Amino acid sequence: MTLPLGITFDAFTDFGFWTSVGILAGTYTIFTLGLQLNVGFTGIVNFGQAGFMAIGAYTMGILVVKYDWSFWLALPAAVLVAVAFGLLIGLPSLRLRADYFAIATIAAAEIVRITAQNARELTGGNQGLFGFEGSWDNVSDSITSGLQSLGWSDPETLFPLFLVVWATALVATLLLYFMQRSPWGRVLRAVREDEDAARALGKNALVYKLQSLSIAATLGALAGFFLALNLNFLNPEEFEPLFTFIGYAVLVLGGLANYWGVAFGAIIMWTILEGTRFIDLPISAEREAAVRFMIVGLVLILLMAFRPQGVFGKKEEMVLGD
């Protein structure tokens, strides 16, 4: 089917297309769940999520490639490094007002990215870091053969990654959902509403904000692993602040303070971003890449106009104040 402008919809019936969109959406679901925890439920504005993703991905990659660590040992180690980095940023800056913290996080994330660009012996710089996915490939192969034994003759190469990404996203969403309904989550929301009120009632607001940031860093690192396995290499460009802001767009789309909205927003976002690749306009490729973000912008504007709380957000939580 071909339309006059040269838009084809063939891709939308292609299983491979949906597998790759699904992996991206799943990865960003995990990534954005951390933002949801911070922004939606704790009231701390974390602009450095791409930095945590970079730390997770690079720590794993470096430990496996340069230090011959086992992939499975490198994963938890990378999570720990990301959490430690989160605490390092959070301890001094979470005492400050929310906007200073936001600035500190974006700066920290840029430090990570620029370090990755320049510490070439370790990270390969802009040439990229390769060769960390061997152990994963074995797992992927056994999932593939499992699928084949179920009668699927020729599964997509990336389909096992798709399954694992979404299983992780689902488990993370469920965990966060139940944590939020616990007394722990209640304290977090109180900190979001009014830190001083929480402190006046005996709650150590700083400790809760640090926990929130640590969990976001963990989710960022997990997203980094999946990004790395999806690409099969690591490049500093993948961790630009833009990706944090795509996360924010996902957050706004799905709705603040709702964990289920995150997956929804991520799927919509990546369907738009990847789907628009197939629009064939008579302009240069760079301009066409810009058109994708124009469409994203348009969607967000329409959303703000007609449903400012996002698809799953609660209106009351937007309008009520002191």
Partner 1 sequence: MTEPMASSPAAMTRPAEGRAPGVPDGGRPILEIGDVRRRFGGIMAVDGATLDVEEGSVTALIGPNGAGKTTLFNVITGFYRADHGSIRFQGREIARRPPHAIARLGMVRTFQITKALARMPVMDNMMLAAPEQPGEQLVNLLVRPGAARRREREVRERAEELLSVFQLERLRDEYAGVLSGGQRKLLEFARALMAEPKMLLLDEPMAGINPTLGARLLEHMHRLRRERGMTFLFVEHDMEVVMGHSDRVIVMAEGKVIATGAPEAVRSDQRVIDAYLGGGAAVGSEG
Q: Is-contact 102 46, C-beta < 8 A?
A: yes
Nearer to partner 1, 90 or 124 (CB): 90
Instruction: Report DSSP state, residue 182.
Output: S
H helix runs in the chain, sequence order:
15-35, 49-65, 71-93, 98-118, 120-123, 134-149, 159-180, 183-193, 195-200, 205-231, 241-254, 259-275, 285-306, 315-319
Task: Kindly state the number of chain residues that form the binding site for partner 1, as judged by CB under 8 A.
Answer: 27
Give the one residue of 176, 190, 213, 272 binding partner 1; rule: CB under 8 A. Answer: 190
Residue 71 backbone phi and psi in degrees, to 5: -55, -40
201 binds partner 1 (CB under 8 A): yes
Other beta carbons within 10 angstroms of residue 155's beta carbon come to 19
148-187 positions binding partner 1, by CB under 8 A? 179, 182-184, 186-187
Question: Binder to partner 1 among 91, 98, 167, 197 (CB under 8 A)?
Answer: 197
- The residues in 283-322 that bind partner 1, with binding defined as CB under 8 A, are 316-317, 320-322
The single residue listed with the structure tokens 């449903």 is 307
Q: 251 vs 218, 286, 319, CA distance in Å?
A: 18, 27, 18
In terms of CB distance, is 195 or 238 closer to partner 1? 195
Residue 27's contacts (CB-CB under 8 Å, 6 or more residues apart) are 165, 223, 226, 227, 230
Among the listed ranges 13-21, 198-206, 240-248, 270-278, the one in contact with partner 1 (CB under 8 A) is 198-206
Min separation Cβ 198 and partner 1, Å: 8
Among 66, 189, 292, 307, binds partner 1 (CB under 8 A): 189
Q: How far is the CB of 199 from partner 1 (least distance, A)?
A: 4
Positions touching partner 1 (CB under 8 A) are 179, 182-184, 186-187, 189-190, 192-194, 196-205, 211, 316-317, 320-322
